[in-house]
């Protein structure tokens, strides 16, 4: 059974005081979320990780980071290592988000290196994949998504796949207010699962959680989460308010 994961990506929002306030609210409103039905994670900015981690420690919310560098340590000014993330209590780390690909020139190769390094140091990667609007309009969504999946998972052994979450995020639906229809999202999730099966086997593909991300809100979460191959959501804007994030999580209660 795949336990859905609802992860909040706070992006570059919330100073420490604001982050603590939000984390405290989430801890209170989600205290009855059952871990056998849904897993909940929050991914604040780096500077908030320690403070948020202290707030949610011992609760049913786990801590994640938004990025990391593919090295244990070294002269890499401005970067954060997997060991540093582990030291503040991170469980998940988002890797290859479309904003990282778009604004920071991340490639399948650099993303794959991060996935491998995260796994080596006991972190659980949330590997993001997804097409741009022009790519969907050209009818090459599957080609782009397959390229991201295959490139991101290159050299990852089958036994490590249980530690990886895939997040399908159509770039055209991130922060735009547009959302893939449930059928559109399901079709791509099914294709991702088939791609994983071709890389490994059917049993491995059926065990991997595949989230949907892209303007997920309380009013569209139910129809998306009801799809058979969608295992939760990577939530952006709606994760910045306790009531809207709670409403999305509540679908699985």
User: Which residues are marked as active site?
Assistant: 97, 169
pLDDT in single tens digits along all 253 residues of the chain: 899 999 999 999 999 999 999 999 999 999 988 878 999 999 999 999 999 999 999 999 999 999 999 999 999 999 999 999 999 999 999 999 999 999 999 999 999 999 999 999 999 999 999 999 899 989 999 999 999 999 999 999 999 999 999 999 999 887 777 778 999 999 999 999 999 999 999 999 999 999 999 889 999 999 999 999 999 999 999 999 999 999 999 988 7
Per DSSP, the chain holds a count of helices (H) and strands (E) of: 11, 8
Residue 102 within a domain: yes
Residue 148, pLDDT score? 98
Residue 230's Cβ-count burial label (10 Å; 0-12, 13-18, 19+) is buried
* Residue 234, domain extent: 5-242
Residue 1, pLDDT score? 81
Q: Give 95's contacts (C-beta < 8 A, 6+ positions apart).
A: 67, 68, 111, 114, 115, 118, 125, 126, 127, 128, 152
Residue 111, pLDDT score? 98
Number of domains the chain is built from: 1
Residue 214, pLDDT score? 86
Residue 178, pLDDT score? 75
Give the three-state DSSP class for 30.
coil
User: Can you read off the two tokens belonging to residue 222?
Assistant: 């139910």
The predicted model scores a pTM of: 0.96
Q: Which CATH number do you get for residue 185?
A: 3.20.20.70
- Cα–Cα dist 131/144, whole Å: 6
């Amino acid at each position: 059974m795949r336990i859905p994961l609802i992860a909040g990506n706070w992006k570059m929002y919330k100073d420490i005081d604001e982050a603590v306030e939000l984390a405290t609210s989430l801890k209170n409103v989600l205290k009855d979320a059952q871990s056998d039905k849904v897993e909940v994670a929050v991914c604040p900015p780096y500077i908030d990780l320690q403070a948020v981690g202290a707030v949610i420690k011992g609760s049913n919310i786990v801590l994640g980071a938004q990025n990391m560098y593919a090295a244990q340590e070294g002269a890499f000014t401005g970067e954060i290592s997997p060991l540093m993330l582990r030291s503040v209590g991170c469980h998940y780390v988002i890797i290859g988000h479309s904003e990282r690909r778009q604004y920071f020139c991340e490639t399948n190769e650099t993303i794959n290196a991060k996935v491998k390094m995260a796994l080596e140091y006991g972190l659980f990667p949330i590997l993001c994949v997804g097409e741009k609007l022009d790519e969907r309009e050209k009818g090459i969504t599957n080609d782009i998504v397959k390229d991201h999946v295959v490139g991101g998972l290159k050299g990852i052994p089958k036994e490590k796949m249980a530690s990886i979450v895939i997040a399908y995020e159509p770039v055209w639906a991130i922060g735009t207010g547009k959302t893939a229809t449930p059928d559109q999202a399901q079709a791509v999730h099914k294709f991702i699962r088939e791609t994983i099966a071709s890389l490994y086997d059917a049993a491995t593909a059926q065990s991997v959680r595949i989230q949907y991300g892209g303007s997920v809100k309380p009013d569209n979460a139910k129809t998306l989460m009801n799809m058979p191959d969608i295992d939760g959501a990577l939530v952006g804007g709606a994760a910045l308010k306790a009531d809207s994030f709670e409403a999305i999580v509540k679908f699985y209660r």
